Amino acid sequence: MPPVSRSAATQLRAVPKRILPRTHLATPRQAPTILRPAHVVLPSRCHSTSNPNPSFSSVNPEEVSHFAELASEWWDPHGSSRLLHLMNPLRHDFINACLDSQLEPRNETLSYLDIGCGGGIFAESAARLRSTRSVLAIDPTPSVLAVAKAHARKDPGLSRKLEYRNSSIEQLEVPKKEGEGYDIVSVFEVIEHIDQPGAFLEKVQPFVKPGGWLVMSTIARTWMSWLTTNLIAEDILKIVPKGTHDWNKYLDEDELRRFFMDKGWNSPRVMGVVYVPGLGWKQVRGSEKVGNYFFAVRRDFP
């Protein structure tokens, strides 16, 4: 069986029909344009009415509706967000590994921008760290954000560091001065739900301060990832709600690497992870080529 082809970050990708599985379940379709620069992206299927730039919106109403239905279960560690709860410690491990890789000492306190924060699993845990100065967590789904705010109110101490805002990235004011921005900009389990990931990432980049890190997690677009995340997780085991993932929106690690290298961003770091039933998420070297992985790049100092 030939491997799924990988193209440069600015080219169209298509999956040969002969490798698609013969099954009545949802299967990979023709892949859309991925990681094209903003000036050549195709018009989005939806536009935010409050977006000053009508050519792009990162908000897809279908995705918003899907996650709104899951809002009430967000903080149930045994519910539909169970895998996110189990993955959260690895998010912090990966960020610490990025910070430890710096030649210069890390800042004593860190500011975070958590994009697509959902119910606040990562945002809350980041706000509780002694090294955290502030966390701004944004999400375009009002019902999900309401759950996040309600849960945070259970710990009054969080209000000193944690702020939730119903917003998409294009609605935030871009830092105007050199040196402004955030030490850590996190985009966890988000980009595979974005119709135009290249345009989205171009909106995100200015929020990373010089010397800061853009950290994300997503899924490689391979036959194995379709088998594990779509067929097994959603259709067979039902440990992930049906319709959560669209295989065509997955991004390979080398696509992200090329995208950022073309823009002059250095120090890409990658960590592949695998979910092991009964044991949770485990770091597995090389697994970033076939399934879930973390990816980070650092913005250079001027």
Q: Which residues are annotated as a binding site for Mg(2+)?
A: 189, 192-193
Residue pair 272/291 in contact by the 8 Å Cβ criterion: yes
Q: What is the structure's pLDDT at 81?
A: 86
Q: What is the structure's pLDDT at 10?
A: 35
Q: What is the mean pLDDT of the chain?
A: 80
Taken in order 255, 260, 264, 270, the sign of the CA dihedral is negative
Q: What is the structure's pLDDT at 19?
A: 26
Residue appearing with tokens 């209000």: 159
Q: What is the pLDDT averaged over residues 198-226?
A: 94
Q: What is the pLDDT of residues 48-86, one digit of tens each?
A: 323 334 456 676 565 556 556 656 788 999 888 888 999
Residue 277 or 21, more confident: 277
Percent share of the chain, pLDDT over 70:
76
Residue appearing with tokens 């101490």: 157
Q: pTM of the entire structure? A: 0.79
Where exactly are the structural domains of the chain?
65-298
Q: Which residues are annotated as a binding site for S-adenosyl-L-methionine?
A: 91, 116, 139, 188
Q: What is the structure's pLDDT at 224?
A: 87
Tell me the one-letter amino acid at 119. G
Residue 141 or 124, more confident: 124
Residue pair 290/225 in contact by the 8 Å Cβ criterion: yes
- The Cβ of residue 137 has, within 10 Å, a number of other Cβ atoms equal to 28
CATH topology of domain 65-298: Rossmann fold (3.40.50)
Q: What is the structure's pLDDT at 267?
A: 76
Q: What is the pLDDT of residues 251-285, one digit of tens each?
A: 999 999 999 999 988 779 999 999 888 899 999 99
Q: What is the pLDDT averaged over residues 192-200?
A: 92
Q: Which residues are annotated as a binding site?
A: 91, 116, 139, 188-189, 192-193
Q: What is the pLDDT of residues 147-178, one digit of tens each?
A: 999 999 999 999 999 999 999 999 999 998 87
